[in-house]
Amino acid sequence: MGLDFSVIPEYLDIVLWGAAWTIAITIGAAIVSFFGGIFLAVVALYASIFVRLPFRAFAFLFMGTPLLLQLFLIYFGLVQVGIDVPAFMAGVIGLGLHFAVYNSELLQTSILAVDKGQVEAARTLGLSRMQALRKVVIPQAIRDVVPPIGNNMIALLKDSALVSVIGVSELTLSAQRAIGSTYRPFEFYVLVAVIYYIINIFMEAAQRRVERRIQASK
């Protein structure tokens, strides 16, 4: 009975290795969600209705169902149709696509808020529609949604714990394995909470730095 934090050093390497996997999953999924969000936003606003409708159905699927179910579908479901996705990649894809849909909604609003006069000016300078989007509209839209997208990335970090259910040895699952050997859940869950908090601090600091640079460039 009682608390005994002296058991932590023996298993600290396991937990820290899990933290490294958590960071790797978060970075990979953040990249997928960022560029996927841009792609989905452009399709939703500018593609033909025959292209737009399937992507709207895709977005509804990821917004209307739990992330845990989406991870199960990608990892356990796709293998039944001959697509074997490794657990780590399934976690990155599932988290990335899930948050890409939410980033897309933010970007659509921001793109529509860009002054149409700037697009017309770009077209008069000889830029095509896609060039105007890529060089004028999208950079401004991204600049305006950095804070909410940054918040989504922090939420992504927290939700990365769900990939433990498909066998990825991220931070939470690594701690559970240490708990299975020591029967000390409180000590290791406190350690995990501290590590998540530290990662959060670094992410928030990076977000604030990006925001300051954007404000300075305006």
- Separation between Cα atoms, residue 123 and residue 118, nearest integer Å: 9
Phi-psi domain of 153 (left: phi exceeds 0; alpha: psi -120 through 50; beta: other): alpha
pTM: 0.91
pLDDT digits (tens, 9 = 90+) for 3-62: 889 999 999 999 999 999 999 999 999 999 999 999 999 999 988 889 999 988 988 889
Please give the single-letter amino acid code of residue 43.
V
* Domain 5-217, architecture per CATH: Orthogonal Bundle (1.10)
pLDDT digits (tens, 9 = 90+) for 138-168: 888 988 899 999 999 999 999 999 999 999 9
Give me the chain's average pLDDT, please: 91
- Separation between Cα atoms, residue 129 and residue 152, nearest integer Å: 29
Question: Quick one: which H or E segment has residue 161?
Answer: none
